[in-house]
Amino acid sequence: MKKADIKNTKKVTVAFAGGGTGGHIYPGLAIADELKDLCKASGIDLNLVWIGNNKGMDKTIVENNLGPDGLPSVNRFIGIPSGKLRRYFSFRNFLDLFKIAAGCIVSYFKLLKLKPAVVFSKGGFVSVPPCFAAKLLKIPVCTHECDFTPGLATRINSRFATKLLLSYEETKEYLGKALEPKTVVTGNPVRPVFYNTDDSIGKDFAGFNYSRKKKPVLLVMGGSLGAKQINDMVFENLEWLCQRFYVIHQTGIKNQEAMPVIPNSVSDSYKPFPFIYEQMPHVISYADVVLSRAGANSLWECAVLKKPMVLIPLCGSGTRGDQLDNAEFFEKKGAAVVLKREYANANSLKNALMTMLDSKKRKLFSDACGKMLPKTRSARFIAELLSENFINGNLCQ
């Protein structure tokens, strides 16, 4: 680059906030990649900073994520203290108030030094202090809710936000009319690789030995840690499943010791893996049917690839019901079959999967997924909204 080019290059910082789970990080990284692409085309030297939990998996996920250009998606990770406001009585709520206060103080001084053009929140309680600090510093805040019903962190952040981004039009009903002027329905951001998959990579990864595919491929997912309920149902019905499907099973990292002995009779049709990350987009693309929980990100990744789904949402006292809401919405749109609560048993699972053996019926589910997708990639759309704060403005330095 010539000296004149360097002098004329605009420099801008954008801060992302979120964490606690991969679901609050990966979609944000997808937006970061799209934002980098936009800024490169506009001649902007972009400094992307991620503010996350100083404990847990946040730092590892963010720093190890590479964009389509093979470079890290963000330039720097900043860890802050993070607490959680639980919806039930717990002494830890009192202790976490001090962590939240510390997070607010650290965020304030970090943002004061960084002077970002905008702060983008992807959710999780670690995002609340940076959004609060940004409000105090009069920095624009955009926050995104991936679930059908808004979580507590989103409800809090919406008070500080200049824009509130939603995955579903219907989510507006849960927020009240006062927030409607600043809400924008964007869909849920998905990593760019999901729009450029290769079935042959998924096939090679699975390693099924066949000259001609005689059965549909069933992908079973329960999240990175696995789902005992789903795993147990698969193991109990393994022979039945393998008679009708080639089965790829992400069992979960924490479930390795609980893995049963796999009979030789199904070894040609059953391939278990503790965790699939880099190859997952290609594996989903290769699959004909997906059996999964109903986390927002997994649902939208499968929808982008137009995959028929059988969903077993996480229910009970350990969840606020967001997965059930997500699953019911996809079922209402004709994109999935949902097995919930007492209906999540071996017989209902078999009935649902028997439906998926019919290629014509699978196509109906696939077509329904396609109809749910926004015209513009959600990650790109959100990146464009964020860039409005600096590409055509005077915030570049």
Tens digit of each residue's pLDDT (9 = 90 or more) over 325-337: 999 999 999 999 9
pLDDT band of 4, cuts 50, 70, 90: very low
Q: What is the dihedral of CA 65, 70, 76, 82, to 10 degrees?
A: -10
Phi/psi of residue 240, nearest 5 degrees: -60, -45
d(CA 268, CA 241): 12
Domain match, 119 and 204 both: no
Q: Is the pLDDT of residue 66 over 90?
A: no
pLDDT in tens, 95-143: 767 888 999 999 999 999 999 999 999 988 899 999 999 999 999 999 9
Token match 């069933």: residue? 218
Domain match, 175 and 284 both: no
Q: Is the pLDDT of residue 396 over 50?
A: no
CATH of the domain at 208: 3.40.50.2000
The candidate with the shortest Cα–Cα distance to 40, out of 379, 391, 381, 382, is 391
pLDDT average, residue stretch 307-319: 83
pTM for the structure as a whole: 0.86
What tokens does 39 get?
């800024």
Domain match, 253 and 338 both: yes
Domain match, 121 and 75 both: yes
pLDDT in tens, 14-58: 999 998 877 789 899 999 999 999 999 989 999 999 999 988 888
Domain match, 172 and 208 both: no
Domain match, 355 and 261 both: yes
Domain match, 242 and 358 both: yes
pLDDT average, residue stretch 377-394: 85
Q: For residue 42, give its domain range.
A: 3-189+377-387
Residue 62 lies in a domain: yes
Residue 348 lies in a domain: yes
pLDDT in tens, 244-292: 999 999 988 776 666 777 888 898 999 999 888 889 999 999 999 999 9
